[in-house]
């Protein structure tokens, strides 16, 4: 079974550029989560969707961040404009809204210089 698929795996970009991270959840899962992980703050939930609808985006740091889920098999997290403090690993995860756990992708490692 294919797990959660994220792209790109690594990205290095200059400050001010737009960054788009992509996620394909596990087929059949109806919940999708975006997390950010840094050494200082650990894993933080940014936003999650149920049935393609954003339920809680209170973790999104500021207006430079936006996320969409146009269909059940695809989501994007966009940062515009990017800043060095956005450097982190961004994980996408999916699960069943009534299930026991969520499954993580391998992360997108973002460096903003």
Partner 1 sequence: EDKVVQSPLSLVVHEGDTVTLNCSYEVTNFRSLLWYKQEKKAPTFLFMLTSSGIEKKSGRLSSILDKKELFSILNITATQTGDSAVYLCAYSNYGGSQGNLIFGKGTKLSVKP
Distances, alpha carbon 108 to alpha carbons 36, 90, 98, in Å: 10, 5, 27
Cβ atoms of residues 75 and 23 within 8 Å: yes
Q: Is 67 in the site for partner 1 (CB under 8 A)?
A: no
Contact in structure between 34 and 90 (CB atoms under 8 Å): yes
Minimum separation from the CB atom of position 100 to partner 1 (A): 5
- Minimum distance, C-beta of residue 46 to partner 1, in the bound complex (Å): 11
**Residue 84 Cβ vs partner 1, minimum distance, rounded to whole Å:** 22
Which sign does the torsion angle of CA 44, 106, 95, 33 carry?
positive
Residue 5 touching partner 1 (CB under 8 A): no
Among 75, 105, 108, 112, binds partner 1 (CB under 8 A): 105
What Rg do the C-alpha atoms of the chain give, in angstroms? 13
Give the binding-site size for partner 1 (rule: CB under 8 A): 28
Give contact residues for partner 1 (rule: CB under 8 A): 31, 33, 35, 41-45, 48, 50, 55-56, 91, 93-107
């Amino acid at each position: 079974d294919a797990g959660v698929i994220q792209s790109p795996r690594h990205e290095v970009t200059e400050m001010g550029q737009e960054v788009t991270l992509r996620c394909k959840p596990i087929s059949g899962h109806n919940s999708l989560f975006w997390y950010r992980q840094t050494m200082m703050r650990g894993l933080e939930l940014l936003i999650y969707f149920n049935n393609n609808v954003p339920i809680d985006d209170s973790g999104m740091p500021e207006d430079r961040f936006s996320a969409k889920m146009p269909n059940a098999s695809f989501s994007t997290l966009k940062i515009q404009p990017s800043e060095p403090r956005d450097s982190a690993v961004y994980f996408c995860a999916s699960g069943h809204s009534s299930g026991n756990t969520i499954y993580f992708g391998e992360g997108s490692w973002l460096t903003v210089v």
